[in-house]
Every structure is written in structure tokens, then in C-alpha cells.
Structure 1
Amino acid sequence: MREFSVPERLGVFGLGVAVAATAWPYLTDTTGLRLPCPLRSLTGVPCPGCGLTTAAVALVRGDLAGAVAANPLIVGLAVLTAAVPPLLLLRASGVLPPPVGWSDRARRRTGWGAGLLAGASWLFQLHRLGLG
């Protein structure tokens, strides 16, 4: 069985997020169930992922401005989600080769990039919620 690349895994995760974001409003409206951010509930400080559920629901409903206002990271996830199915199809049909493992340097750089992105998201959330 072939390994999946990180972007492929994120894209498949995004498909799951889209399904959940479609069902979430119905679930919350009918049951009253809410899942607040544990960090924000305990400390009042948002996490870098705060607003992602709101952003995903807004994006599924076609409200791009609302999605970006809640958490701009959703745009990157949406792009990966849209790009991955054709990529997987092309790889499965043999048109594209399987992914190649990343070098240690590429993994380090990606880790730093993800950390910087999380930091920027956190600053955005602090500003959006008037805490920074």
C-alpha cells in the first residue's frame, strides 16, 4: 500500500471537515450541543485554531468573507481539499508518480513554516477577539 503525502493527508482531512461542517449546524440546532475551545474556556485566551469550526461552516454555506473573518487558515485547507481528489486520481491512474519522501531539511522548513503560520493565526485571533 502506498504512502500518502502530507498535502494529500491534509486534503483528505479537509474533506472530512467539509462533511462535518455540513452536518454541524443541524446537530447543534437539534441537540443544543456545543463544543467550546478548551483553552479559551479555561483561560479566556483563544488558540490558533479558534474560529475554524465557524470558518468551515461559513465556507460550506458559501460565505467566503465570513469564513476568512473567523479564521483565514480555512482558505489553505479548502485549496488543498479541492486539489487533492484530482491529484489522487492522477496518481491512482499512473499519470503521476507516487509522492517522494521529504528530506530532513524540507521537513524542518515545513515545521518552521507551520509554526510561524500557527503563530500568525494566534495573533490574528487575539486581535479579532480584542485581546491583543
Structure 2
Amino acid sequence: MNVTARYVSVPERLGLLGLAAGAAALAWPTFTSATGLGAPCPTYAVTGVPCPFCGLTTASVALVHGDVAGAAAANPGVLALAALAVAVVPLLALRAAGVLAAPDRLGARARRRVEWSVALLAAASWVFQLNRLVLS
């Protein structure tokens, strides 16, 4: 039997990552209070320099508990990730039901634009984290 895997677009993948982060953020406070364990950023712990994703755990937990301002203060990128997570559920349901077709794969030029966009967003996040944790 020849089974072809369905292509999942980058926004869908990020939305699924956002859903997983939201689910983990719901369980994280219970886990940390029961075990006393946390999740420090390894880059920040070793070098004193935050990574572009520093604060995502804190931001995710704040967001699932309704603290939008706290989430944005820890890492504003979580708001975009949450928006994708909300949008991806009906999108994937419609694709699974056959109402919407699977997305087309990106060409090389479009893929490069996406890669540059992601790199610029990561750089902006890193500047934000450097300002928040090192320069302030």
C-alpha cells in the first residue's frame, strides 16, 4: 500500500506547536509546584545571554491563565504563536473533512523569503530579550 504523507504548511506546524505549548503551559504550574523543578534557559544559565526564545515558558503560562500583559512582557512572540494556534484548529479540521485542499508547497524563492522573515523575527525577539534581561 502506498501511503503519501499530507503536506503540512509552516503556519500549520507553528499553530500545532502553539497548541502543544498551550497544553504544556496548563500542566506546567502543577508540575513545578509538585516537583520543585523549573525550566531555566540553558543558554542564559551558561552564558548570561538570553536566547531569542527566552521567556516563552513564562509567557505561555501567563497567557493560558489570562494574563496577556504578563505574557507580552515575557515574550511578545507568544501572542503570534497563540493566534496561529487558534487559527490552525478549524483550518486542520476543514482540511481533514476535505472542505479545503492541502496547501501547495513553497517554491525555492518563497521558501527563502520565509526563512529570512523567520530569521528577522528571531533577531527582533533576541533584541527584545537582551533589552529585557541584560541591558535593563
For the criterion TM > 0.5, the same-fold answer is yes
Query: 1:131 Cα shift?
Result: 2.3
After TM superposition, the structure 1 = structure 2 runs for residues 15-34 of structure 1, keeping only pairs within 5 Å, are 15-34=19-38
1:78 aligns with 2:92: no
Structure 1's consecutive aligned runs of 4 or more residues displaced over 2 angstroms after TM superposition are none
One of 48, 62, 65 as aligned partner of 1:44: 48
Distance 1:93 1:30 in 2: 41
1:66 aligns with 2:51: no
Residue 17 of structure 2 corresponds to 13
What SS is found at the alignment partner of 2:135? coil
Query: 1:40 Cα shift?
Result: 0.5
Residue 97 of structure 1 corresponds to 101
TM-score, normalised with respect to structure 1: 0.96
Gaps of 5+ in 2: none
Distance 1:13 1:120 in 2: 20
Q: Output one character per residue of 1:40-90: Cα deviation in whole Å (capped at 9) or x when no partner.
A: 011111000000000000000000000000000001100110000100111
What amino acid does structure 1 have at the position aligned with 2:26?
T
TM-score, normalised with respect to structure 2: 0.93
What amino acid does structure 2 have at the position aligned with 1:127?
N
Cα-Cα RMSD: 1.1
